[in-house]
Amino acid sequence: MKYSTVTKQTVVTIDSGKGLGKIIDLVIDNDNGRCLALLIQLVGVMARKKIVLIDDVSSFGDDTVMVQSEKILVPLKDNEDIVKVVDRKVKIIGNEVVSYSGEELGEVKDFVVDETSYKLSKLFVSTGLFRDLFKGELIITANKIVSIGKDAIVVKDAVVEEEVKNKGKSQESELARAGVMNKDTE
């Protein structure tokens, strides 16, 4: 599930078809990259924020997240484990991404959580407006993440090496399309 998609969805109960509210955030444990809960903004006059534990979600649809009943909603303050994670104030979206050797790679604009394991599986990193337009955003798979911290997400240097390798291939293909390369340079 992609963060940017899921945070626009409504949570609906299977037993009554009642819309409970909109998902406004995912609670991700930065120690292991697992999504623990959905943060929900309830509908109504006295709307407050509550959570749905990820293991209580019945299904993720294209437009709606389904849960069995309204009873699975829990006030955030009532779950100590989730409160501890939230209190760390470690964010994924907007966090800086740096390589192990200290190179700044950009800022996380979106991410994907695997719907089976509920673990972080990909980061979509913006490397700057012009670069994103011409080269696209940098996609980093979870196996390249070293740590997720309050100030930065550290990734393996292999991400930079792959990016340079892919950049070289794209430059070669652009030159080949333009007819610039000859047999000596191929």
87-103, pLDDT tens digit by residue?
A: 999 999 999 999 989 98
Question: Residue 173 pLDDT > 70, yes or no?
Answer: no
pLDDT digits (tens, 9 = 90+) for 154-165: 999 876 655 544
CB-side neighbour CA atoms (13 Å) of 180: 7
User: 29-33, 34-38, 124-128, 145-149: which range is least confident on average?
Assistant: 124-128
What residue ranges define each of the domains in the chain, with the CATH number in brackets? 3-87 (2.30.30.240), 96-178 (2.30.30.240)
pLDDT digits (tens, 9 = 90+) for 12-62: 999 999 999 999 999 999 999 999 999 998 876 666 789 999 999 999 998
Cβ atoms of 41 and 21 within 8 Å: the answer is: yes
Q: 90: Cβ–Cβ under 8 A, 6 or more apart, which residues?
A: 28, 30, 148, 149, 150
Distance CA 73, CA 83 (A): 15
Question: Residue 4 pLDDT > 60, yes or no?
Answer: yes
Q: 25: Cβ–Cβ under 8 A, 6 or more apart, which residues?
A: 7, 38, 39
Distance CA 112, CA 97 (A): 16
